[in-house]
Structure 1
Amino acid sequence: MSGIIVVHELDTPAPTRAGKGPAQGTEAPVRQVHAAPAAPGTTTEPGPRTVCGKDTFAMAPAHWIPSEQPGSPWYPPQEASLVCPSCDAVMDDS
């Protein structure tokens, strides 16, 4: 599983009362967990697309590194319910 970066597709956070973006100190919740190949020349940055074909530009890298978790799935176990089924199918085939 080397060369795979786990990325979070985030929900858009709710705006503050003043309508000027998210409330300070709040993070957008994770909508879905995806797998992306590492960008060329790096092992820590995702490439431009996930393995299911989504753009990674607005996604946030997770703190989970599959290659450092032998015997574990490619995604963080606590986020199993949020895993992209298409990414999971591709990762199961590899």
Structure 2
Amino acid sequence: APAGAPGTPGAARVPRRVHAAPAAPGRSGAAGPRTLCGKDTFAMEKARRMSAEEPANPWYPPEYASQVCPDCAAVVET
């Protein structure tokens, strides 16, 4: 969906960067405290759950492919 003007009610927010984070210990539906590149996940908006274990699907939402963090991607690919 196209992004609306900042501050516009209902405007879609486009992420500046998409990071990968492991699941929180004992909580498979929650992100851990740090991304794979070491950033704090506290203030990050969570995307729908993606799995790196399904090779046919990318670990990130495909519509944000151009915003993927190269450091996180390198860890996921290894």
Is structure 2 residue 67 aligned with structure 1 residue 82? yes
* Structure with greater contact order relative to length (CA < 8 Å, sep ≥ 6): 1
Is structure 2 residue 56 aligned with structure 1 residue 71? yes
Structure with the largest fraction of strand = 1
Count of aligned positions: 74
Query: What is the TM-score normalised by the length of structure 2?
Result: 0.78
> CA offset at residue 73 of structure 1?
1.7
CA RMSD of superposed structures (Å): 2.1
Change (3 A) 1:30 1:87: same
> CA offset at residue 25 of structure 1?
2.5
> CA offset at residue 90 of structure 1?
0.5
> CA offset at residue 67 of structure 1?
5.8
> CA offset at residue 79 of structure 1?
1.4
Pick the structure with greater CA Rg.
1
Q: What corresponds to 1:43 in structure 2?
A: 28
> CA offset at residue 29 of structure 1?
2.2
CA distance in 1, matches of 2:10, 2:64: 22
Structure 1: tracts of 5 or more residues without a match: 1-12, 15-21
> CA offset at residue 61 of structure 1?
1.1
Percent of aligned pairs sharing the same letter: 53
Instruction: List structure 1 segments (4+ residues) > 3 angstroms apart after TM superposition.
Output: 67-70
